[in-house]
Structure 1
Amino acid sequence: MLAFVPPTVISPLLSLVVFIIGHGLLSTLLTLRLSAEGVSAGWIGLVSTSYFAGLVLGSFVNARIISRVGHIRAYAAYASLLAALALWHGLLVDPLAWSLLRLLGGFATGGLFVVIESWMLVSSSPATRGRLMALYMILLYGGLAGGQWLLRYIDPLQLSPFALVAMSASLSVIPLALTRVGMPQTETPRQLGFFTLLRLTPAGMGSSLASGLLLGALYGLLPLFFTRQGLALEQVANQMALVILGGVSLQYPLGRLSDRFDRRRILALLGAGLAVLSLAILLLSQLALPGVQAMLIFLFGGLVFSIYPISLSHACDELTPEQMISANQGMLLAYSLGSTAGPLLASQAMTKLGSSGLFGYFALCAGGLALYLVWRQKVRSAVPMAEHQSYMPVPPNTPLAADLDPRIPTESRFNPQEDQTDIAPPPTAEVKG
């Protein structure tokens, strides 16, 4: 079943799973701990924003560092830094200090994703990249969901959960440290400016920005909403896991649906659906209907996590194949700007309107996206169906994800560059798999 997975890509995937479980635990743990300490929603939003700001910096800058020192040593350095930062969160509970720690954590996390995705790139072939990307997405979101369920067995007021996160980061080094592989060149000239890309695919860029506004607030403040609704820690863990499982379950079906219609119409429907779901969740949060709310939360996750990859597919439809690398970079920047601003804006809504302000914010962002895309359909004709690229689920982590996208022409990809510190010796050795 997984015969398409090259043996050399197993190591980064194992490291991803080990790391992402702790990463998923930490992102929710921090919000719950700050809430338990009585910290305001504004400060919690700032802590979340700091992480995404660091992630933006890391995902674009760390490639140069990794090129110089090799990806195994870079991964070990980033993982060690993240382990230390996790322990510092448990030792120094202060929102201002945590904002700085999360900025550094986002930077290091961006570096880890560059290492993992570049390793996957050099270890795969054009024929296997589509399935490998799908497996990557499943492991990524599955690990995030697993991290949420760990919340059921820990006390967020103790140091022990932060120690678990540190252990996760440290142990993730082992699979990579025991494997050698070449490293791709991680720098390529950018061909399209941000505003040029905005002119070429305004619907794609706008949808990416909206995706960041929604997901940034979801990661940082949704646990706070659940705790303020009176849910126990175990229930918060279940709800957060349901959101992520909804995302991994519905992305591909919705994406394939977008292959058959104008993607702007699908994105508009996603926005309208999210607005309706947000209002329904607000209403049902006042009633004792846990089963119905769980179903709505699952659907909410499925819709919100689908916006970015469908918007990227729409951009690929409107651009030439040679422009897709630049499109990925520009749309990732738009997403990152949204995810950085989202927690701050949503926290202000919660400060002024109470916990209900979060889903009011979601409804406003999603509804605005729907109206924008309806307008775009009126001012620009749809891309002919014969010119549609096949949908691919692509995570908004680093620009290197574009090279794992099989829609990118081979000549436009990053070229493999041997790194003698990480390459296995004998070229004559035969690798069977």
Structure 2
Amino acid sequence: MSLTMSAPRSGALGVMPPLISMLIFVIGHGLLTTLLTVRMSAESASTFAIGMISTAYFAGLVIGSFVNAKLIIRVGHIRAYAAYASMLASVAIMYGLVVEPYTWAFLRLLGGFATGGLLVVIESWMLVSSSSENRGKVMAIYMILFYASLACGQLLLKYIDPLTLIPFALAAIAASLSVVPLSLTRVAMPEMGEPHPLSMIELIRLTPAGVLSSFMSGMVLGVIYGLLPLFFTQSGYDLDWVANLMAVVIVGGMALQYPVGRASDRYDRRLTLTALAAALAILSSIMSLMSYGAGGSNAMMALMIFLLGGVAFSIYPISLSHACDELQPEQVISANQGLLIAYSIGAMTGPLVEPAFVSMMGPKGIFTYFAVVSLALVGFLLWRRRVRTAVPLDEHQAYTLTTPNTPVMAEFDPRSDQDDSLNDEAASKEEKAA
């Protein structure tokens, strides 16, 4: 999708309303993500049923990636945001009223669709309120606040009984309150163009390593979000520690992305991806041998889960950077959209596959699953390094922090601005000649 900047940007004040809305909404979203798994575990739902609920969420995101932009174009950003927030608030309340796996899977599908719509509005609004000079800074602030509020949502579980309606009501309140900052802003709404058609086959041909790495990243992160809390509860951790450890894995993902990304600028990114996948396999193998709950060390578990999050959350942005190295600047936005779809399909697949490992090996099967997925990625990347030469380091695009949220984040990517700057320069020369 593309955004037309038809109104003057209003600087920091223009960025504040969407950031505040995002903070409020994502705290509730973070609470709800882990709450659903904890509640289903308390209701003795099967691992497959919980995985199905997680899959439904990412299916909603995929559907939304094709539909939400057209809806927003039709009704405008504020009305669309209000509609999505109302849908999400209603879904949150329904979770607490009807506690049944298949009903929750349907509600989670709607929730994923609405969440994708909310994030498209927020991110496009931030885009129109920023400029090419400060867009990288805005993106970095957005990422930090996104992960911080997601972690805060996990910690709310420590103070709320998951067996009551209260946590679902709080998530609904957060979705509703997030409408207020955007509704009261005076910043002009962005004009959103029609989404560009995507060719996944062409993207796979151009950057197979980027596509598969994004898919595998989704297979891992989909399980981390949806089924890792289940492992913690099955291993004997109380609700406080489930919340703590989920917050730690997210903080780890936030903390290690930048140093890993900067290191990838200095080497073949496929080598960096291989190292990340190998590290994930090693960490997972070690964790499959550890003792948990009353028989283990909480501090050691927190350290290992921090490292696991840091490695797992770094794979997607490195995959995107690798793809950008192999593509022309004008292809970056479409590539971002395609890789996001690959990631989402992986996140749909993972929670359906992981229960097979748990059924054979018990709760620790989650780490065997991570190891198998990681080793498969290692093998593919090593093969790709043999059949295709690496992009020269002097042709690397600078690493950019990103999250696998919506296609709008591609508009923040400075790697997509290079062709625009060339066009602007050419236009300027034509004006002077005239």
State the TM-score bracket (shorter-chain normalisation): over 0.9
1:55 aligns with 2:61: yes
4+ long deviations beyond 6 Å: none
Give the letter for the 1:50 counterpart: A
Partner of 1:219: 225
Partners in 1 of 2:138 and 2:122 — Cα distance?
Answer: 12
Amino acid aligned to 2:336: N
User: Alpha carbons of 1:5 and 1:245: their partners in 2 closer, same or farther (altered >3 Å)?
Assistant: farther
TM-score by length of 2: 0.92
1:267 aligns with 2:273: yes
Shift of 1:66: 0.6
Q: Does 1:320 align with 2:324?
A: no
Change (3 A) 1:411 1:188: farther
1:146 equivalent among 152, 157, 172: 152
Distance in 2 separating the partners of 1:98 and 1:255: 37
Quick one: distance in 2 between partners of 1:348 and 1:31? 17
Aligned to 1:136: 142
Tell whether the 8 Å contact from 1:42 to 1:351 is kept in structure 2 after alignment.
no
In structure 2, distance between residues paired with 1:228 and 1:262: 40
CA 188–33 in structure 1, closer or farther in 2 if over 3 Å, else same: closer
**Structure 2: where are the runs of 5+ without partners?**
1-9, 422-434
Q: CA–CA distance in 1 between the matches of 2:286 and 2:35?
A: 26
CA distance in 2, matches of 1:372, 1:268: 9
Query: Which residue identity does 2:86 align to in structure 1?
Result: S
Hey, what's the Cα distance between the residues in 2 that align with 1:401 and 1:59? 12
What amino acid does structure 2 have at the position aligned with 1:42?
F
CA displacement at 1:398 relative to structure 2: 1.1
TM value normalised by structure 1: 0.92
Residue in 1 aligned with 2:238?
A: 232
Count of matched residue positions in the alignment of Structure 1 and Structure 2 = 409
Instruction: Give 1:367's aligned residue.
Output: 375
Is the contact made by 2:69 and 2:195 (CA closer than 8 Å) also made in structure 1?
no
> C-alpha distance in 1, partners of 2:193/2:58?
21
Deviation at residue 130 of structure 1 after TM alignment? 0.9
CA distance in structure 2 between the aligned counterparts of 1:347 and 1:139, rounded to whole angstroms: 32
Distance 2:373 2:51 in 1: 17
Alignment-derived partner of residue 386 in structure 1 = 394
Q: Percent identity?
A: 58
Task: Give the drift of 1:412.
Answer: 5.9
| Residues 26-75 of structure 1: CA deviation (Å, up to 9, x unaligned) | 00000000000000001000000001000111133111101111101110
| Separation (CA, whole Å) in 2 of partners of 1:135 and 1:39 | 38
What secondary structure sits across from 1:151 in the alignment? helix
1:10-409 equivalent positions in 2, closer than 5 A: 10-180=16-186, 181-190=188-197, 193-286=199-292, 287-409=295-417
Q: Over the residues paired in the alignment, what is the CA RMSD in angstroms? A: 1.4
Q: For residue 380 of structure 2, what is the amino acid of its counterpart?
A: Y
In structure 2, the CA distance between the partners of 1:146 and 1:56, relative to structure 1 (3 Å rule), is same
Verify the 8 A CA contact 2:11 2:129 in the aligned structure 1: no
* Secondary structure of the structure 1 residue equivalent to 2:145: helix
Q: How many angstroms does 1:410 deviate by?
A: 6.4
Code of the residue aligned with 2:15 in structure 1: it is: V
Q: How far does residue 186 in structure 1 lie from its aligned partner after superposition? A: 3.8
Query: Given residue 325 of structure 1, which amino acid in structure 2 is its aligned partner?
Result: I
Partner of 2:5: none
* Offset of residue 411 of structure 1: 5.7
Deviations, residues 355-399 of structure 1 (Å, cap 9, x unaligned): 111111111111111121111111111100010000011111111
